[in-house]
């Protein structure tokens, strides 16, 4: 928008890291401007250099980085300037909103103290005056009971409230340029929708320029005016949101958009009729799981009276927000958590209350893929050994035969056989997750439990991973409990969908019914909160959601 004054002007900006004797470029020749009242989104997959760029603008990079080019905030050069000058701008003119509100807020100070601190650093303000202003800010970001929240510690607030407090802190000095680095990635969809609404309102109210860093095309569609797509440190494409979403020029942008799962765009996956009548692979009845009380903290009922079943060859998508108990159900189903009451039957055998040793036979028929690929593989074991471990321990194969099966498994998850001697840190996130699948499928289980296997992956990697899983499932016909918070993913995979909230099952039904004609209010609000990667469509959905929420009176 040339008619407005540019708050941030970046010209020929480079960031490089010193790695083992070579300067490795992380951002190359970036040029962009952000004007007042405008949102520029920098989009890219992990490793594309988007966060590095954002941190580099204000000299917040690690000591093994160097920057060159020009960064001007309100026509003052920022790059490689003395800290005393930067300090005047940080917080006051340029404010950061970070991804993890829990780690970005100091846990030993109250929220109010941290906001007051920012205010008194930059303005000559008495403590009472600063407190008044802080409460005003907390009210502005719509934190319930701002006077009481002022004296709360970060751990006493929910994730969404913490993110609001972070935003209040960032906006304390009415910054001309808030930089939001993945502001909603750690949040649930419904909370994300609220934070996005809040950010949009605040931007209009304060008329500031916003730099939004994200990998989520839905968030981008919701908030941004212009978009800059980055890949491997290079600017791939820069244009208005409308052009990027509807007429993307660069093939990379097109593939990025194509990889985003879109609700309701895929044809129904049907289940063979004879499978529906067979004995269920997994049958959960009135399952209750409690985390035992610790000291004065009472026992916590994470799962309360959940019942469902999975037929052979069926994929059941279990959806819920964080804290809904969905992961707990998955872990209990494979015997990793003790059951309080109710029953879990795998192929007709009840595993509730059984000891680990007694579960050994059932282990052969079940496999699990964990959420975090970097945590679920032993960093000191070559991946071939990780994959072969279930086979070895079940006494299925040894030596040469084990080698052969491991190679076959690597083939089936489309990893080169030469990778078997690699260590997990030498693999990318998507590859590690494939290793996780290969290990889970090593004993050809009849039931696979997938606990948010895609939440740590980029969209394009996620798309390939889901293709692979679908193909393997078509071939091997295992039943699958697919746990996720992302309704878009369930839409691609599942035959049936179960929705959980606060440890209870809200709704279970065939995919089409749950997604298109949801019966329960919670399912409806969950669906309405999912942003879609299309600015016009997203605007409509936003208005529809506002109407829906008004009708519930939330």
Partner 1 sequence: MASLLKRKKNTQQPIEGNETGSSNLEVLGLSQGQIIRKRFFQHKPAVAGLIFMACFAIFVYTASGIHLGTDANPLTIKGWWQFAHTDLPPQGPCADGCPSATHPMGQLPNGRDYFSLVMRGSEISLMIMIVIGGLSALIGTVTGAVAGFFGGIIDSVMMRFTDFILTVPFILIGAVIGYNLGNFGVFPLAIFLGLFIWPGLARLVRGEFLSLREREFVDAARVAGASNRRIIFKHILPNSVGVIIVSTTLLLSSSILLESGLSYLGFGVQAPDVSLGALISTYQGEFIYAPWLFWWPGVIIIAIALSINFVGDGLRDAFDPRQRRRISRKERAVETGTRAQVNKS
Residues in contact with partner 1 by CB under 8 A are: 14, 16-26, 47, 62-64, 66, 232, 331, 334-336, 356, 360, 363, 366-368, 370-372, 375-381, 386, 389-390, 393-394, 414, 416-419, 422-423, 425-428, 430-431, 436, 439, 461, 464
**Of 86 and 468, which has the nearer Cβ to partner 1?**
468
Q: Closest separation between CB of residue 305 and partner 1, Å?
A: 25
**Of 48 and 114, which has the nearer Cβ to partner 1?**
48
8-state DSSP, 541: H
| Nearest alpha-carbon partner for 154 in 216, 115, 105 | 105
> For 387, phi and psi rounded to 5 degrees?
-65, -40
Q: Closest separation between CB of residue 408 and partner 1, Å?
A: 15
8-state DSSP, 97: E
**Of 21 and 126, which has the nearer Cβ to partner 1?**
21
Take residue 26 and report the two structure tokens written for it.
């992380």
| Nearest alpha-carbon partner for 256 in 226, 231, 233 | 231
> For 446, phi and psi rounded to 5 degrees?
-90, -15
Q: Closest separation between CB of residue 14 and partner 1, Å?
A: 8
Q: Closest separation between CB of residue 144 and partner 1, Å?
A: 33
Report d(CA 378, CA 373) in Å as an integer. Answer: 10
Report d(CA 12, CA 329) in Å as an integer. Answer: 51
Q: Closest separation between CB of residue 18 and partner 1, Å?
A: 5
Question: How many other β-carbons are positioned within 10 Å of the β-carbon of residue 260?
Answer: 18
**Of 184 and 376, which has the nearer Cβ to partner 1?**
376
Only one residue has tokens 């920022």, namely 78
Q: Closest separation between CB of residue 104 and partner 1, Å?
A: 18
Q: Is the CB of residue 496 less than 8 Å from the CB of residue 317?
A: yes
8-state DSSP, 443: T
Q: Closest separation between CB of residue 424 and partner 1, Å?
A: 9
**Of 153 and 423, which has the nearer Cβ to partner 1?**
423
Pairing between β-strand 504-510 and β-strand 349-350 as defined by DSSP bridges: unpaired
**Of 178 and 390, which has the nearer Cβ to partner 1?**
390
**Of 361 and 552, which has the nearer Cβ to partner 1?**
361
> For 261, phi and psi rounded to 5 degrees?
-65, 135
User: For residue 288, what are the CA distances in angstroms to 306, 329, 439?
Assistant: 7, 9, 29
**Of 3 and 418, which has the nearer Cβ to partner 1?**
418
Q: Closest separation between CB of residue 364 and partner 1, Å?
A: 8
């Amino acid at each position: 928008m040339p008619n407005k004054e540019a708050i941030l002007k970046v010209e020929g900006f480079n960031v490089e890291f010193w790695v083992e004797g070579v300067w490795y470029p992380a951002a190359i020749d970036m040029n962009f401007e952000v004007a007042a009242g405008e949102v520029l989104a920098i989009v890219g997959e992990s490793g594309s250099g988007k966060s590095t760029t954002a941190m580099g603008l204000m000299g917040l990079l690690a000591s093994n980085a160097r920057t060159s080019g020009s960064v001007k905030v309100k026509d003052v050069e920022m790059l490689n300037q003395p800290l005393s000058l930067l300090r005047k701008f940080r917080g006051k003119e340029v404010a950061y909103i970070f991804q993890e509100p829990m780690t970005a807020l100091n846990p030993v100070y109250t929220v109010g103290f941290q906001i007051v601190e920012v205010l008194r650093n930059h303005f000559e303000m008495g403590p009472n005056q600063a407190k008044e202003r802080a409460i005003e800010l907390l009210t502005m970001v719509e934190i319930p009971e701002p006077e009481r929240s002022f004296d709360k510690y970060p751990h006493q607030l929910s994730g969404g409230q913490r993110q609001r407090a972070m935003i209040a802190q960032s906006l304390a000095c009415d910054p001309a340029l808030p930089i939001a680095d993945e502001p909603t990635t750690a949040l649930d969809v419904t909370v994300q929708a609220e934070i996005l609404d809040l950010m949009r309102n605040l931007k209009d109210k304060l008329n500031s320029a916003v730099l939004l860093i994200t990998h989520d095309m839905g968030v981008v569609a919701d908030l941004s005016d212009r978009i800059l797509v980055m890949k491997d440190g290079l600017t791939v494409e820069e244009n208005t949101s409308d052009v990027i979403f509807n007429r993307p020029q660069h093939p990379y942008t097109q593939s990025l958009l194509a990889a985003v799962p879109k609700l309701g765009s895929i044809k129904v996956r049907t289940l063979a009729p004879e499978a529906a009548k067979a004995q269920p692979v997994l049958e959960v009845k009135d399952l209750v799981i409690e985390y035992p009380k610790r000291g004065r903290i009472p026992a916590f009922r994470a799962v309360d009276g959940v019942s469902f079943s999975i037929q052979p060859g069926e994929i059941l998508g279990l959806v819920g927000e964080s804290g809904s108990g969905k992961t707990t159900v998955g872990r209990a189903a494979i015997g990793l958590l003790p059951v309080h009451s109710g029953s879990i039957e795998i192929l007709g055998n009840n595993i509730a209350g059984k000891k680990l040793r007694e579960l050994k036979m059932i282990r052969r028929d079940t496999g699990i893929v964990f959420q975090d690929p970097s945590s679920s593989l032993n960093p000191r074991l070559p991946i071939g050994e990780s994959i072969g471990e279930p086979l070895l321990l079940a006494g299925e194969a040894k030596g040469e035969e084990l080698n052969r099966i491991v190679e076959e498994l690597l083939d089936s998850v489309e990893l080169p056989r030469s990778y078997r001697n690699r260590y997990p840190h030498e693999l990318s996130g998507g590859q590690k997750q494939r290793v996780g699948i290969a290990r889970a499928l090593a004993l050809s289980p009849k039931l696979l439990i997938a606990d948010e296997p895609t939440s740590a992956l980029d969209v394009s990697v996620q798309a390939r991973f889901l293709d692979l899983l679908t193909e393997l499932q078509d071939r091997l016909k295992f039943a699958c409990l697919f746990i996720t918070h992302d309704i878009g993913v369930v839409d691609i995979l599942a035959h049936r969908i179960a929705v959980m909230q606060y440890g209870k099952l809200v709704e279970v039904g065939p995919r089409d019914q749950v997604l298109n004609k949801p019966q329960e209010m919670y399912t409806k609000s969950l669906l309405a909160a999912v942003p879609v990667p299309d600015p016009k469509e997203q605007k409509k959905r936003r208005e529809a959601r506002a109407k829906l929420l008004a009708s519930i009176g939330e």
